[in-house]
Amino acid sequence: MAEADLAKTRTRLRVLILYGSLRKRSYSKLIAFEAACILYRLGCDVRIFNPSSLPIRDSVEALHPSV
């Protein structure tokens, strides 16, 4: 399917993967990286968003640049 899409549009399918845990060893982070590997092998352009630079909920004002 990815090859057919690549032939038609000349661009790969772009996928952004988000995970919400900030712990060093978390299951959601592990599954996000595993999904990224699978999607990459299927021919997708995969990016993973690292939430470590974001502040914890309600710890800063809504106008903070990271928010």
According to the model, what pLDDT value does residue 62 have? 72
According to the model, what pLDDT value does residue 40 have? 92
What are the two backbone dihedrals, phi and then psi, of residue 29, each rounded to the nearest 5 degrees?
Answer: -70, -40
Please name the residue ranges forming H helices in 12-54.
Answer: 27-41
Successive 10-residue mean pLDDT values, the chain, 67 residues: 72 88 86 95 90 73 70
According to the model, what pLDDT value does residue 38 have? 95
